[in-house]
Structure 1
């Protein structure tokens, strides 16, 4: 009876559930008639669950599909398949007015604060626009009071309302982006590299601000980042992506203390340690070769072309499932236990030459100029 109650509590506590989400961008060729000759598998079968009030960190190399996953959750890009269940509603199936209304509860903080803010609008106009779209701009006095509260929450003076984006520093513009996301009183915020373009001192201010706002307003975050130190500081749980797939997921402490997937171990070994003795003695893993093209991903385990623990069987032929090795710790690796226990030793990996698009060089990508730009 107790176990049933616990499971039920966990299920009802989940705010966002993603099941087998896929985003495939068509690659087209032709002058008069466009012909689809392939796909960029930006996100290919991601499943995860995020609880209310939790911060979920998403890490991985550039081009692994982190941003596309975040945008697909909010329907800023259309999913090719899968389910995005937000508080009991399948967002992937919403259309028209229902989709517009649902977006009030899901907002995004974009990576580049300058390009995401309209340079022709004042801060007041930027913040009011979302409120007006969702019927929160009731009267002039209450709206102005709400704007003052938003600016105070992100540490900006009231005088900022009359200014334009170009009049602020990078950190201040990011605060405006956060205020815009908060203006419509969301439950979920997807923060795409919220501090990557900022100075180190400003990064700390923005990270602390996000934590304070989460505590006050009960927000749920999906934080996409490259900086593994920032992710560890702010996240409750972390998902590691590689070439469109989730390869490991665990609590922040468990992931950093005992990474189980070879790719995660390589990522964490790249974090510098400010102690020369520890730095020289610790395990350092340098990955050979480049990230394969998401337009032509490797068969089997997608990491096997660069994996120092690759085995002759299964790795190149069978795609591993994301399975639970410990409570809350999921890994997509056939030999995770053997690697952890030292039964399989590292070996040298020969770098393979990777064709960037893995198709003819004269192919014209429809829309963005490159695969990296798509993702």
Structure 2
């Protein structure tokens, strides 16, 4: 799917979200940080769908929440329609949030089980003064349910009375209730059956065409992202490593991590599946509390070189046609001047990076943190 380029609605510059690691019983001491998001730059045009992909623990959800100030940024700017959201406080921030809404990953835990659907939808409208006229408000509620394919009788029901797909539709209706311009959808279909996934994805596309919405879709299902996105950003360990339009990314990935990620997509043709290249990465995702020096991916990269990769962190740079990639040797890999080699897994240790006297703190896995 391709839409005409519009003006920039959201611009993120050098965004960082670092969570402190505390230690001590009486006095809390900061002994390190979890670098969940560490220097992200992206721009999203009005009316487009921007897909954000990467393996679990790479910081996708934290980035989406930081854009909406649900997680406080450590540094950087989030400029939404000319206003730096990162600098807003109090009433100004509350008003700005009406134009930026989120569809959460788990619809059951994000809906109050003690509230009816009517109460859930009215809550946001009341907070922003959109329910002044009772008759108009009731019409608006019926329109919202019709837009997401639910009957009017749903207003009197509670979240536990619906299926997973229906609850996700209620979450979408809640986001639409305050008439936003931007919706951040965090894994909107990951917990749903395949048939229901298709319904929700088609619903999101129809609502975008009708209302001119702009989406940031966070997902790990690469097939869904390809179907719904205009442009895609690939994240690894807190930073974007590649960004381009959906067709170019799937046809000609340039970053080694993107190549490995796309090679994991199953192909429903046994002959093609048996003969195509599959890149199996060595080692585990490094800890975001102790990321590698230089290129964050160099500990697992089959194209790692002796120079630059270990010492210099590559910047996300454009190499033509709006295709941006953070790799020192992207052109050499593309043109075949550098060949892949076997990678020896590296053991990532936290001891010494934070406080050698205390040892590694129990901070959980990357997925649990992010």
The question of a shared fold, defined as TM-score above 0.5 by the shorter chain, is answered with yes
Are 1:109 and 1:181, in contact at CA under 8 Å, matched by a contact in 2? yes
Report how far residue 327 of structure 1 moved.
1.3
In the alignment, structure 2 segments of 5+ residues that lack a partner are: none
TM-score of the superposed pair, with normalisation by structure 1: 0.94
Compute the displacement of 1:181 (Å). Answer: 0.1
Q: Please list, as runs of the form range in 1=range in 2, the aligned pairs for 1:91-110 lying within 5 A after superposition.
A: 91-110=85-104
**For 1:321, what is the secondary structure of its paired residue?**
coil
* Cα drift, residue 361 of structure 1: 5.4
How high is the TM-score relative to the length of structure 2? 0.96
> Cα deviations across residues 163-212 of structure 1 (Å, max 9, x unaligned)?
00000000000000000000000000000000000000000000000000
Counterpart of 2:119 (choices 125, 148, 152) is: 125
How far is 1:356 from its partner? 7.1
Match of 1:374 in 2: 369
C-alpha separation in 2, matches of 1:190 and 1:311: 37
Cα RMSD of the aligned pairs, angstroms, is 1.5
Mapped pair 1:339 → 2:333: yes
Number of the residue aligned with 1:31? 25
1:278-297 superposed matches below 5 A: 278-297=272-291
How many residues get paired?
363
Contact 1:40 1:294 in 2 (8 A): yes
Asked if 1:157 corresponds to 2:155, the answer is no
Spell out, residue by residue over 1:266-290, the C-alpha distance to the aligned partner (whole angstroms, 9 max, x if none): 0000001111221122111000000
Deviates more, 1:352-361 or 1:254-263: 352-361
Unaligned runs of 5+ in 1: 1-8
Matched with 1:4 is none
Runs of 4+ in 1 over 3 A off after TM superposition: 355-362
Residues 248-304 of structure 1 show CA distances to partners (whole Å, capped at 9, x for unaligned) of: 000000000000000000000000111122112211100000000000000000000
Match status 1:318 vs 2:312: yes
Q: Which residue of 1 aligns with 2:243?
A: 249
Aligned partner (choices 304, 309, 320) of residue 303 of structure 2: 309
Q: Which of 63, 68, 72 is the aligned partner of 2:62?
A: 68
| Superposed displacement of residue 374, structure 1 | 2.7
Equivalence for 2:294: 300
CA distance in 2, matches of 1:154, 1:363: 45
Taking the TM superposition and a 5 Å limit, the aligned residue runs for 1:1-375 are 13-355=7-349, 363=361, 365=363, 371-375=366-370
